[in-house]
Structure 1
């Protein structure tokens, strides 16, 4: 998945190696110093570049931190494991593993906190982190529809609302579990979460021994 980065300014071509070093140094500084003490000068020193190199790429700390965090979430991929339930489990486990990393915890929580009083930062988080992950929801839904696991949605507005809702439910649950409650999103939790997501709260609390955990998942219940 490609990460959305600021538009290149005129002048010397950007160095991919420098970008990688700068974003890695930003995440390292976040873990060690926290948002409030992180400075572009410290990041430049850690990355082995001039401070002017950072300013040619990022207008300030907010933009830099969001892009550093976005690079981590750019590692997310939707696995094709043969069924909607298995695909959801696979991507949620990846998401939880990323959130468990100290640099993701520090960067995401700090950026979200700052964005409560900075509309431009909130928009950058949406464009650089949230929207690319919604693309995974679109991919997963299309795959499930092709398998016949989900019905098609012909109304674009309704389809967009569905994607937003799925993303909000998945991201909200995993972020709360890992960052707020500080509990593990392990395979057992992910499996239970996926069952509730697909069957809803009226489903039985446990799988039957005869049918297995997801053999009774009709598409019309989703």
Structure 2
């Protein structure tokens, strides 16, 4: 007879595979039917799982869409291009490309709108998307400090506040450009934005 431990180990890959299939099906539904017509039953059918499997992980559509969009942003990587300016340009172009995808655009806009009336949803967006991607700021700043492009921080609390501010500036500008103004965040715009950002960073340093 198989032990409970062995059974649990065998169960984890199936659980992970189901979650991956559900999140992929959610993004597929966002593209095909949009947020307003997306249902958990449709997602379960697309993913080939029982509704109970889906409901064990997500209590509703909003939480499911947040996690499906968050998985897209996890694809972001900070390139090591040899300079802070080039690194920023590289990651901002990636960010803009993700926001241009229909599933990211419709999903993010919908859950942000819903979160204005739902504090728990705001917390989920913050934890699943915002806080996870702040790693890029920390990586970029550390790399720039090692190159001598930015000085090291002496106050950890001030360094954390600055990292939050940098993330807010970058994310806010790109989201506004692509989703609110509906203008392209192309290479020319990204270069101009990076120059303005670096001017502020170097003066602050």
The residue aligned with 1:182 is 182
Q: In structure 2, what is the Cα distance between the partners aligned to 1:164 and 1:82? A: 24
Q: In structure 1, what is the Cα distance between the partners aligned to 2:30 and 2:203? A: 45
The residue aligned with 1:173 is 173
Stretches (4+) displaced over 6 A: none
State the shift of 1:220 in Å.
Answer: 5.0
Higher helix share goes to which structure? 2
5+ residue gaps, structure 1 = 1-11, 201-217
The residue aligned with 2:152 is 152
State the shift of 1:124 in Å.
Answer: 0.5
The residue aligned with 2:76 is 76
SS of 2:134's equivalent?
Answer: helix
Aligned pairs for 1:67-216 within 5 A: 67-200=67-200
How many corresponding residue pairs? 194
Question: Is the Cα–Cα contact under 8 Å of residues 30 and 103 in structure 1 kept in the other structure?
Answer: yes
| 1:37 equivalent in alignment to 2:43 | no
Q: In structure 1, what is the Cα distance between the partners aligned to 2:171 and 2:204? A: 21
Relative distance call for 1:107 and 1:143 in structure 2 (3 A) is: same
Question: Is the Cα–Cα contact under 8 Å of residues 151 and 220 in structure 1 kept in the other structure?
Answer: no
Q: In structure 2, what is the Cα distance between the partners aligned to 1:170 and 1:120? A: 24
Q: In structure 1, what is the Cα distance between the partners aligned to 2:77 and 2:121? A: 25
Q: In structure 1, what is the Cα distance between the partners aligned to 2:173 and 2:62? A: 25
Can you list the C-alpha shifts for 1:164-210, whole angstroms capped at 9, x where unaligned?
1100110011001111111111111100110011114xxxxxxxxxx
TM-score calculated relative to the size of structure 2: 0.90
The residue aligned with 2:7 is none
Q: In structure 1, what is the Cα distance between the partners aligned to 2:163 and 2:204? A: 16
State the shift of 1:219 in Å.
Answer: 4.3
Q: In structure 2, what is the Cα distance between the partners aligned to 1:221 and 1:54? A: 47
Q: In structure 1, what is the Cα distance between the partners aligned to 2:164 and 2:17? A: 35
RMSD over equivalenced CA pairs, Å: 1.5
